[in-house]
């Protein structure tokens, strides 16, 4: 739908219109503004199809990392077809938008599988490397030197080997074999994946308007309106193949086809602030979007004898925007081209329309 232009009666007494009264009240309330510029001013044009939007987007990011765990096999049940793709498992995520990061460790029993123990090749025991399987080693205490006959006759038996010249192997308790500790003597190992999951939310705020109000000013205007108007809320799952423009077209735009929200710009913003944060191990799993709408009336008025310093091509025409009602019911007005205000250069109480005054 095209912007509706509401014609204003050109009665000549434009200054007495309801719109002009709003501007007069505003100028009176402003320090350093002189209302003389409105004395003969008249309203030219009133446009009510004007809006500003605050678009909050939260994406829930999910990071997954798996770690292989190995234990001796103890007769556990082994699933037939183990799926070891880390993104094939479904987990209930925490709510989107939380400022806290949540982490969780999940044991994926469904990924269990077994292998033969490499240490003992499945034989549960392996040869003692210390005695090479002999169970004993030559006694190195009693073969140090050759003894004379006298020495031989006086010699006491070797206390280490009792003159057998073989000492026990402590590594295998003289059995020559060692019980495999890796598989605890069962010959098999059990493996499974353990997954570390981390959830965190990314939040971005975008402002859009079909007025000439600078985008950086819009947050201030929205904050001034006492009653927030929640225009649209959505919270839904996000698949790996989802794209923002499709999501937005299928949800918001379907319900509000004439919203004036620039989807391309919003998509670009989303990709920069959310989409790019997704990596191989980290995906967007949920999206939450909340839109606040500010209904704005744009009024153009003519003040003969005054010059628009902000927009030269406007000549003697000026604009202001009414964007709601304040706490006391007063109309909230935004303008940045009123011709008779003070920038402070001639003292704080001096209102003027000097060419050198650059107040915005
Ligand atoms: Zn000995
Ligand atoms: Zn040994
Ligand atoms: Zn083993």
pLDDT in tens, 159-174: 888 888 889 898 899 9
pTM here is: 0.76
pLDDT by residue (tens digit) across 37-51?
A: 898 999 999 999 999
Using a pLDDT cut of 70, give the percent of the chain over it: 89
% of the chain with per-residue pLDDT over 90: 59
Tell me which residues have their CB within 5 A of the ion that is ligand 2.
128, 130-131, 169, 171-172
Each residue's pLDDT tens digit, 295-353: 999 999 999 989 888 889 999 999 999 998 888 888 899 998 898 876 555 544 444 44
CA distances from 138 to 5, 144, 145, 327 (A): 110, 12, 14, 100
CA–centroid distance, residue 177 to ligand 2 (Å): 7
| pLDDT value, residue 34 | 85
Compute, in angstroms, the gap from residue 166 CA to the centroid of ligand 2: 12
d(CA 143, CA 128): 24
**Which contacts of 230-234 are long-range, i.e. CB under 8 A and separated by 24 or more positions?**
230/290, 230/291, 230/292, 231/53, 231/291, 231/292, 231/293, 232/256, 232/289, 232/290, 232/291, 232/293, 233/288, 233/289, 233/290, 233/291, 234/287, 234/288, 234/289, 234/290
How far, in Å, from the CA of 217 to the mean position of ligand 3? 71
Radius of gyration in angstroms for the set of CA atoms belonging to the chain, rounded to a whole number: 42
Q: Residue 126: nearest ligand to its CA? A: 3
Q: Which residues surround ligand 1, an ion (CB under 5 A)?
A: 139, 141-142, 158, 160-161
Please state, in angstroms and rounded to a whole number, the distance separating the CA atoms of residues 188 and 109.
17
Q: Note whether 57 and 274 are within 8 A (CB).
A: yes
Query: Per-residue pLDDT for 355 more than 80?
Result: no
Question: H/E element holding 109?
Answer: strand 102-116
Q: 175 and 135 in contact (C-beta within 8 Å)?
A: yes
Spacing, Cα 136 to ligand 1 middle (Å):
12
**Cα(105) to centroid of ligand 3, in Å?**
28
At residue 221, φ and ψ (nearest 5 deg) are: -65, -45
The SS3 of residue 110 is strand
Q: Has residue 274 got a pLDDT over 60?
A: yes
How far away, in angstroms, is 296 Cα from ligand 2 center?
91
Q: Give pLDDT tens digits for 121-151.
A: 999 999 999 999 999 988 887 765 666 777 7
346 vs 265, residue with greater confidence: 265
CA distance 180 to 76: 19
Helix (H) or strand (E) holding 317: strand 317-325
Task: State the distance from the centre of ligand 3 to the C-alpha of 108, rounded, in angstroms.
Answer: 24
Confidence of residue 11 (pLDDT cuts 50, 70, 90): very low
Cα 127 to middle of ligand 2, angstroms: 8
Q: Mind listing the pLDDT tens digit for each residue in 86-100?
A: 888 888 999 999 999
Q: What is the pLDDT of residue 357?
A: 52
> How confident is the prediction for the chain on average, in pLDDT?
86
């Amino acid at each position: 739908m095209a912007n509706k232009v509401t014609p204003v009666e050109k009665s000549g007494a434009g200054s007495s219109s309801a719109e002009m009264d709003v501007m007069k009240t505003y100028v009176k309330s402003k320090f350093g503004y002189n209302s003389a510029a409105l004395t003969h001013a008249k309203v030219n044009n009133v446009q009510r199809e004007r809006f500003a939007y605050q678009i909050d987007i939260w994406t829930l990011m999910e990071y997954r990392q798996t770690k292989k765990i190995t234990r001796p096999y103890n007769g556990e049940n082994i699933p037939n077809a183990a799926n070891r793709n880390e993104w094939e498992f479904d987990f209930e995520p925490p709510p989107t938008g939380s400022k806290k990061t949540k982490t969780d460790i999940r044991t994926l029993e469904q990924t269990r599988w077994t292998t033969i123990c490499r240490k003992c090749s499945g034989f549960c025991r392996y040869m003692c490397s210390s005695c090479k399987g002999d169970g004993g080693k030559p006694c190195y205490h009693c073969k140090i030197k050759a003894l004379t006959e006298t020495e031989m006759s006086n010699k006491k038996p070797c206390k280490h080997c009792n003159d057998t010249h073989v000492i026990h192997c402590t590594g295998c308790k003289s059995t020559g074999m060692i019980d495999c500790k890796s598989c605890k003597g069962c010959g098999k190992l059990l493996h499974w994946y353990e997954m570390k999951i981390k959830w965190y939310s990314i939040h971005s705020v975008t402002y859009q308007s079909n007025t000439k109000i600078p985008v950086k000013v819009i947050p201030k205007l929205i904050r001034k309106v006492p009653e927030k108007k929640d225009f649209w809320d959505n919270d839904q799952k996000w698949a790996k193949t989802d794209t923002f423009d499709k999501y937005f077209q299928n949800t918001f735009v379907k319900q509000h086809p004439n919203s004036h929200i620039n989807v391309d710009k919003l998509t670009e913003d989303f990709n920069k602030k959310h989409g790019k944060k997704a990596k191989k191990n980290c995906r967007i799993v949920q999206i939450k979007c909340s839109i606040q709408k500010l209904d704005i009336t744009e009024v153009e008025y003519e003040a003969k004898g005054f010059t628009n310093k902000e927009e030269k091509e406007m000549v003697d025409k000026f604009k202001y925007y009414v964007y709601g009602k304040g706490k006391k019911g007063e109309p909230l007005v935004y303008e940045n081209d009123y011709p008779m205000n003070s920038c402070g250069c001639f003292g704080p109480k001096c209102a003027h329309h000097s060419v050198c005054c650059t107040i915005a």
